[in-house]
Amino acid sequence: MRFRLVVFFFLIFFSSCHKGFSQSKIDVIKFEDLQKIMNQPNDTTLIVHFWATWCKPCVEELPIFEKISQEYLQKKVKVLFISMDFPKDVATKVPSFLKSTNINSNVLLLDEPDYNSWIDVIDKDWSGTIPATLILNTNMRKRKFYEGPVKAMSFLEDLKTMLPSSVEN
């Protein structure tokens, strides 16, 4: 009995060490796949966030989107973390980065190296610099695009105007 108790406390102790479980397997997608997700008629507001582990301003900004992803989960907001890392890093560099920075959201790696063929499809004003972020609500026909790091306060204000009408702000 006493042994069981010790084991139990051990388990509790170790599980409290983990803040969450970061993703170890990252799916590689093509632009076509991303477009399918983006074009789906949906009540949920999508935040499509382009970033990479090699991009310093992206890495600095990522915790903001991780926080939004957790806090707006109940408000029908889904953050898509689209990594622009090279596919060769999909099983190594990217998951170890997510683990070390406690990013628990789902990350997809976009393998579409002919950037010129799809940058304009995301937004005509996008020069290609990351981080870049798109807020999208297909049902409300609303979209807003940001190149470079967002200003957290005004981004959240914008997001609030794009929440599904069924959600109370």
Determine, following the binding rule CB under 8 A, whether residue 30 of this chain makes contact with another protein.
no
Q: Say how far apart CA 34 and CA 92 lie, in whole Å.
A: 23
**Residue from the set 33, 59, 86, 158 that interacts with another protein by CB under 8 A:** 86
Q: Say how far apart CA 165 and CA 43 lie, in whole Å.
A: 9
Render 68-110 in DSSP notation, one character per residue: HHHHTGGGTEEEEEEE-S-GGGTTTHHHHHHHHTT--S-EEEE
Determine, following the binding rule CB under 8 A, whether residue 55 of this chain makes contact with another protein.
yes
Q: Say how far apart CA 48 and CA 123 lie, in whole Å.
A: 12
Closest separation in Å from C-beta 58 to another protein: 9
Q: Say how far apart CA 73 and CA 44 lie, in whole Å.
A: 10
**Residue from the set 44, 87, 164, 167 that interacts with another protein by CB under 8 A:** 87
User: Each residue of 74-83: b (16+ CB within 10 Å) or e?
Assistant: ebbbbbbbbb
Determine, following the binding rule CB under 8 A, whether residue 41 of this chain makes contact with another protein.
no
Determine, following the binding rule CB under 8 A, whether residue 20 of this chain makes contact with another protein.
no
Closest separation in Å from C-beta 37 to another protein: 19
Determine, following the binding rule CB under 8 A, whether residue 60 of this chain makes contact with another protein.
no
Determine, following the binding rule CB under 8 A, whether residue 57 of this chain makes contact with another protein.
yes
> Which residue lies nearer to another protein by CB, 86 or 145?
86
> Which residue lies nearer to another protein by CB, 52 or 163?
52
Sheet containing 77-83: give its strands across: 27-29, 107-110, 77-83, 45-51, 132-137, 142-147
Closest separation in Å from C-beta 143 to another protein: 19
Pairing of strands 77-83, 107-110: parallel
Determine, following the binding rule CB under 8 A, whether residue 114 of this chain makes contact with another protein.
yes
**Residue from the set 33, 44, 54, 156 that interacts with another protein by CB under 8 A:** 54
Residues that bind another protein (CB under 8 A): 54-57, 84, 86-88, 113-117, 119-120, 126-130, 148
